[in-house]
Amino acid sequence: VQLQASGGGLVQAGGSLRLSCAVTGRTITSYNMGWFRQAPGKEREFVAAVSWSGDNTYYADSVKGRFTIPRSDAENTQYLQMNSLKSEDTAVYLCAAGEPMNMNWNPQRGDSYDHWGQGTQVTVSS
């Protein structure tokens, strides 16, 4: 399976961006999906996740109410819709896929995911 992230760019504070994570090689409904981000000089942090069934979503406190994690089964693509962006959202954003049979899946932990895409840069200017 391969994950291809895209959609990053430069946006003003208060603006919106939608990131995409295209999954190839297997249907997206086979995976728990997550988004993480890493800012310069900081550790990678959890942003949002959705279970393979789509029934459960998870968000970091810092993005709750601003970000959502919709999915297109037809396009086999996971999205991260980011609204009301702040300068502190500036980071490289990475998507990840975790095997659904992992009974110990913790959506907030990077080691719960088996496959990673390359990052896409998001820069929010204040």
pLDDT digits (tens, 9 = 90+) for 6-57: 999 999 999 999 999 999 999 998 899 999 999 999 999 999 999 999 999 9
> What's the rounded Cα separation, in Å, for the pair 105 and 103?
6
Task: State the CB neighbour count (10 A cutoff) for residue 93.
Answer: 23
68 closest CA partner among 99, 35, 45, 95: 35
Q: Residue 103: which pLDDT band, with cuts at 50, 70 and 90?
A: confident
Q: Average pLDDT, stretch 68-72?
A: 96
Task: State the CB neighbour count (10 A cutoff) for residue 40.
Answer: 7
Q: Residue 59: which pLDDT band, with cuts at 50, 70 and 90?
A: very high
- Is pLDDT of 80 > 80? yes
Ramachandran class of 30: left when φ > 0, alpha when ψ lies in -120 to 50, beta otherwise: alpha
Question: What pLDDT was estimated at residue 98?
Answer: 94
Structure token digits, residue 56: 């459960």
